Amino acid sequence: MADKIKIALVGAGMMANRVHYPSLVEFEDVELVGLCDIVEEKLHQTADKFGIERRFTDYKRMIEETDPQAIYVLMPPYQLFDIVVHSLDCKLHVFIEKPPAVTLDQIRQLAHRAEDNLCLTMVGFNRRFIPLLRKCRDMVFEHAGSPHQVVSTFYKWHDPPRPYYNGAVDILTSDAIHAVDAMRWMAAAEVKDLAAVVRNHGQRLALSWNALCHFENDCVGVVLANWRTGARTHQFEMHADGISVFCNPDYDAIIHRDGAERVEVITTQEAAGSDQNYKYYGFWGENRHFVDSIKNHQEPETCFSDAVKTMELVDRILHSSL
């Protein structure tokens, strides 16, 4: 196919192998021109698995020799920055995982650099691409316009309660950020006022983050994230006049309409048309969105400048604790 998008890949780690490369190899309009990892064993195992011929341990050489249009940089947040800056300076469109950076200032700088270099960018806030959650959001908007109340919860049992990456980045920024980003997206507006409580649960790092937010469109949003609970559960609510949605994208969504007793139930597999986690949990969809955005010359929904707003909200939660 003449118009294949040429993509180079940095990182042969967990997310690359489990969700991103399995998605990309399914796209007929994509050519994976090279893979780079500094650990040779992982490089060759991953390249063999996804049929990638050209292999590198130096990402600058890979960019020079394969001449891609876009690049995936999939690695922990504290290892990202220099590679992303170089890629943007090479005028490549860039996909990265969440979080987009270790600090708010870093993602602001990356967003400016992308703008200066006319690059399209995307952060893997995959919750927005979960087929079930997207369907629920569309149903609310179709029924009553934007929601007037949203709730985003994310719970884990993180034991022992160690910092992530030896403390290179806090857990809200690194992981619970999904709940913050999803709340912004469900509310379809930016936060005007907020009150937050961040707690340590007697440990030497923050382990729960709770915020009540008033959005510019008058929607009220609640984010409840806690890493000292029973187990991982991640759920979302959207309410608007005459409609309420309770969505657990690992299982299903329950939709209530106009006070009726009968409820509608949609499973996550039904909504995705697949029982594969990388499809029903939004990874396939976000990768498709990135490729389509490049083809259509459009900024992806979760571009760096949008991620700045999520990181701003994360910062406000961390610094506004009551």
Ligand X SMILES: NC(=O)c1ccc[n+]([C@@H]2O[C@H](COP(=O)([O-])OP(=O)(O)OC[C@H]3O[C@@H](n4cnc5c(N)ncnc54)[C@H](O)[C@@H]3O)[C@@H](O)[C@H]2O)c1
Query: Which residues of this protein are in contact with ligand X, per CB under 6 A?
Result: 10-16, 36-39, 42, 59, 74-77, 79, 97-98, 124, 126, 174
CB 240 within 8 A of CB 226: no
Closer of 77 and 147 to ligand X (Cβ)? 77
Q: Smallest distance from the beta carbon of 285 to ligand X, in angstroms? A: 12
Residue 120 CA, chain-centre distance (Å), reads 16
Closer of 172 and 240 to ligand X (Cβ)? 172
Q: Smallest distance from the beta carbon of 250 to ligand X, in angstroms? A: 12
Closer of 76 and 161 to ligand X (Cβ)? 76
Distances (CA, A) of 109 to 10, 12, 125, 161, 259: 21, 26, 19, 32, 48
Distances (CA, A) of 240 to 127, 142, 145, 216, 271: 20, 10, 7, 16, 21
Q: Smallest distance from the beta carbon of 99 to ligand X, in angstroms? A: 6
CB 161 within 8 A of CB 201: yes
- Give the full edge-to-edge strand order of the sheet including 5-10: 55-56, 30-36, 5-10, 70-73, 93-97, 121-124
Closer of 15 and 136 to ligand X (Cβ)? 15
Closer of 12 and 189 to ligand X (Cβ)? 12
Residue nearest ligand X (C-beta atom)? 13
Q: Smallest distance from the beta carbon of 179 to ligand X, in angstroms? A: 12
Q: Smallest distance from the beta carbon of 41 to ligand X, in angstroms? A: 10
Q: Smallest distance from the beta carbon of 221 to ligand X, in angstroms? A: 21
Closer of 36 and 189 to ligand X (Cβ)? 36
Give rounded-to-5 percent helix, strand, coil for the chain.
40, 30, 30
Distances (CA, A) of 162 to 168, 206, 208, 243, 295: 12, 10, 13, 40, 42
